[in-house]
Amino acid sequence: MEELRMSDAEATVDGGTGVDPAGNGAARTAGDRVIRLSDVTFGYTAAPVVEDVSLDIHDGEYVAVVGPNGSGKSTLMQIMLGLLRPDDGEARLFGEPAHSFDDGQRIGYVSQHASAAKEMPITVREVVRMGRFPHVGFGRLGAEDDRIVDEALATVGMADFADRRITKLSGGQRQRAFIARALAGEADLLVLDEPTVGVDAESVEAFYDLLESLNDDGITVLLIEHDLGAVTDHAERVICLNREVYFDGPTAEFVDSDALARAFGTAVGFLGGSEKR
């Protein structure tokens, strides 16, 4: 699954205020919440995969979720998006119960498996045009839709590849094409699950520069990533998970904490933008 799309609905949010968990100091209203997890526990069997997780993600944040293999990162993401329902606790998405949220135009999802798209015999433009389908239903795409598609292609630097088949792209270019599809869908939240798996090292930095630019333009970015160096170089806030939350706060404080060693069960540090063990 390269991108998640749901249908149209109006989201409402409960009242109240909260403190910005990114550590920026300013209080945010509850209306700014994109995701709220309250005492969430979930397990595929009797043993929980995530346990007693509570956190808020607000509009405009750039949040990375890190943790060792099998720590529950992808499971937590699926709970956030309503693809899994907690055994205990509550997950809310744009103010609604996540499992019943149906305004998927607001969400763009890019997975680590976008490389599977290399088997699709379609062009980059055709992929990006798919992002407009929820807006037109059974109608035909018009001139305004084509303008939005062209703008999305330009934003991710893929305009020159618009007529090239997905089969002819590198891993990094394919990921950019799927981000463009999310942009064409006018998503408010961009969720990426280990998006640089299979992407050549030369393209990774440019890929994260793109995410940073999109976040600067107001898109909320939620990144699940194994590359700790990329996380500390780009994300504003880190959630460190190994079944339970070991750290949730500004990236600089995460680097200086012992949360990573406790979550990974080993000594881990950072040097030159990459992790060291």
Could you tell me the pLDDT band of residue 138, with boundaries at 50, 70 and 90? low
Which class for 244: exposed (0-12), middle (13-18), buried (19 or more C-beta within 10 A)? middle
Residue 136 vs residue 57, higher pLDDT: 57
Here the tokens at position 63 are 């949040």
- Is residue 224 within 8 A of residue 190, CB to CB? The reply is no
- Residue environment code for 149-186, b if the CB has 16+ CB neighbours within 10 A, otherwise e: bbebbebbebeebbeeebeebebbbbbbbbbbbbbbbb
Measured CA angle at 47 (ends 42, 52), to 5 deg = 45
> Residue 39: pLDDT above 80?
yes
> Residue 253: pLDDT above 90?
yes
- Is residue 95 within 8 A of residue 11, CB to CB? The reply is yes
State the residue for tokens 């809310």.
92
pLDDT of residue 90: 98
Q: State whether residue 262 is helix, strand or coil.
A: helix
> Which range has the worst mean pLDDT, 5-9, 29-33, 236-240?
5-9
Of 53-67, 166-180, 202-216, the range with the highest mean pLDDT is 53-67
Residue 147 vs residue 197, higher pLDDT: 147
The pTM is what? Answer: 0.78
Residue 81 DSSP label = T
Q: What percent of the chain has pLDDT over 90?
A: 49
> Residue 264: pLDDT above 90?
no
Query: What's the rounded Cα separation, in Å, for the pair 112 and 97?
Result: 26
Q: What percent of the chain has pLDDT over 70?
A: 80
> Residue 52: pLDDT above 70?
yes
